Chains A and B, each alone.
Chain A
C-alpha cells in the first residue's frame, strides 16, 4: 500500500491534462487549488475511465456542459453553435478521458503498477455529486481555462 501513496498523482495528472488540452484543444490550462465551486451547480458532464491490474482505479473528468461544448468546438474546429448533437460532445469528452486515463495508466505502469484501461463512459446531468468508496487513495485536482473549470478525480487502490 505504501507504493501507491508514494505516487506523485498531482504531477501525473497535471502533466497529462496540460498536454492533452494544449495539443488537442489549443487551450492553456492551469492547475488550481479547489475548483469544485466552479462546476458545483447546473448541467455537468463527467467522463470516466477505469483501470485494473496491480492497481485498480478510476479517473473522472468533470466539466460544465458549456465548457464541454467549448472543448468540442475547439477539438472539431467549429463554432459552438455549429455542434450538431450531444453525441459529438460525448464523443469528445470520452476521447479526452481516454487520453488522460491512458497517460496516467502509462505512468502507473512505468512505476511498476501494471494495469489495463477500460473503455471510457460519459454521463450528463444536473448537480452531479460523485462519490466512490473503498479506495486506498483519492485525490481531486482543479484546472482552469479562462472562466471555465475542469475537475479531475483519481481513485486508486492496490489489488488484493
Chain B
C-alpha cells in the first residue's frame, strides 16, 4: 500500500519540489497551504509522514505541530520541518518542538529523500502500475478507433504522462491493426504551448505509422489552433460522427 506523504507549505513552488522528489516512489502525495488545511488533511488521511513549513499565513507550522502533538491519533506521525533559517537558536527551537527531523531551505529533492529514508521505507514505483493507473484517463478504444481525449488544460506533467503512454498505444494499434485515431479536444478550455507541442507530436507519430488521425474540437479550439503557425493547416472536425465520416 502506497505511503501517504503530506506536504504543508504556503509556497506552491516548494510543494511542487517536494512532490517531484517523491515521484519515483510508491507514494500518495497530499498537500496543504497552511496549518489549518494541514491539520484537516492529517485528521482525515492519517499520513505516514508530514513535510511541514514553519512560516505560513493563517496557521504557522509551529502552531500546527503543537496541535498535532496534542492529538492522540496524530501525535506519532513523523514530521520533517522545513525552515529558511539555519541559525543555532532556530534549530534548537525546532528540535525542542519534537520534530523527527528538519531541513533548511534551500535544499535539493535528493537531500529531502535521504532524510525521509531514515524515517520511513520508500518503495520504488512500479512502472506497470503507473501505466494501468493513468492511461485509461485519456485513452479508449471504441468501434475500431483509438481515442485520445485531452483534459481542459494541458500542463507539462500531463503532456509528459500522455507522451509516456503514446508509444505503447501505437504499438497496440499496430498489433491489432487499428488504423484510425481520433484526438478529442472537446474538453479543452485553454490552448497553450504544451498543447500545441503535444498535438504536433501525436500527429507526427501517427503519420510515421501510417495511422489516419482526425482532430475533434469546438469552433473556438479550431480558431485557436489556426492562430498558431504550426497547427494552422490542420483540419478540425466538430463532432465524433463528423470525424468518423471524414476518415
* Chain A interface residues toward B at CB < 8 A: 19-20, 23-24, 75-79, 81-82, 84, 87-88, 91-92, 94-95, 98-99, 101-103, 105-107, 109-110, 114, 117, 119
B87 engages A119 (CB within 8 Å): no
B155 engages A84 (CB within 8 Å): yes
B87 engages A110 (CB within 8 Å): yes
* Contacting residues, chain A, for B55 (C-beta < 8 A): 98, 117, 119
CA gap between A106 and B105 in the complex, in Å = 12
B13 engages A76 (CB within 8 Å): yes
B189 CB, min distance to chain A CBs, angstroms: 13
A109 CB, min distance to chain B CBs, angstroms: 4
CA gap between A82 and B153 in the complex, in Å = 12
A132 CB, min distance to chain B CBs, angstroms: 22
* Contacting residues, chain A, for B192 (C-beta < 8 A): 82, 84
Total A-B pairs, Cβ < 8 A: 72
CA gap between A55 and B88 in the complex, in Å = 18
A interface majority secondary structure: helix
Q: Which of A79, A99, A117 is within 8 Å of B106, CB to CB? A: A99
Residue contacts A-B, CB under 8 angstroms, 18 given: A20-B106, A23-B106, A75-B17, A82-B155, A82-B156, A82-B194, A88-B13, A91-B12, A94-B11, A98-B55, A99-B84, A99-B106, A102-B85, A102-B105, A105-B85, A106-B86, A106-B90, A110-B88
Contacts beyond the supplied A81-B193, A91-B13, A110-B88: 12 A-B pairs with Cβ under 8 Å: A23-B106, A76-B16, A78-B156, A92-B13, A95-B14, A98-B11, A99-B84, A106-B85, A107-B87, A109-B85, A117-B84, A119-B10
A67 CB, min distance to chain B CBs, angstroms: 16
Contact with A along B3-33 (1 / 0, CB 8 A): 0000000111110110010000000000000
Interface centre among B84, B87, B156 (most CB of A within 10 A): B84
A102 engages B84 (CB within 8 Å): yes
* Chain B interface residues toward A at CB < 8 A: 10-14, 16-17, 20, 55, 57, 83-90, 105-108, 153, 155-156, 192-194
CA gap between A105 and B85 in the complex, in Å = 7
B53 CB, min distance to chain A CBs, angstroms: 9
* Contacting residues, chain A, for B84 (C-beta < 8 A): 98-99, 101-103, 117
CA gap between A105 and B13 in the complex, in Å = 22
CA gap between A117 and B83 in the complex, in Å = 11
* Contacting residues, chain B, for A82 (C-beta < 8 A): 155-156, 192-194
A95 engages B83 (CB within 8 Å): no
B87 engages A99 (CB within 8 Å): no
* Contacting residues, chain A, for B16 (C-beta < 8 A): 76
A75 engages B13 (CB within 8 Å): yes
A117 engages B13 (CB within 8 Å): no
A109 engages B87 (CB within 8 Å): yes
A23 engages B87 (CB within 8 Å): no
CA gap between A75 and B10 in the complex, in Å = 16
A119 engages B57 (CB within 8 Å): yes
Given A110-B88, A117-B55: A102 in contact with B83 (beta carbons within 8 A): yes
Given A24-B106, A99-B106, A117-B55: A91 in contact with B85 (beta carbons within 8 A): no
B126 CB, min distance to chain A CBs, angstroms: 23
A111 CB, min distance to chain B CBs, angstroms: 10
* Contacting residues, chain B, for A76 (C-beta < 8 A): 13, 16
* Contacting residues, chain B, for A91 (C-beta < 8 A): 11-13
A119 CB, min distance to chain B CBs, angstroms: 6
* Contacting residues, chain A, for B90 (C-beta < 8 A): 106, 109
CA gap between A159 and B99 in the complex, in Å = 33
B13 engages A23 (CB within 8 Å): no
Given A82-B193, A84-B155, A98-B105: A103 in contact with B86 (beta carbons within 8 A): yes
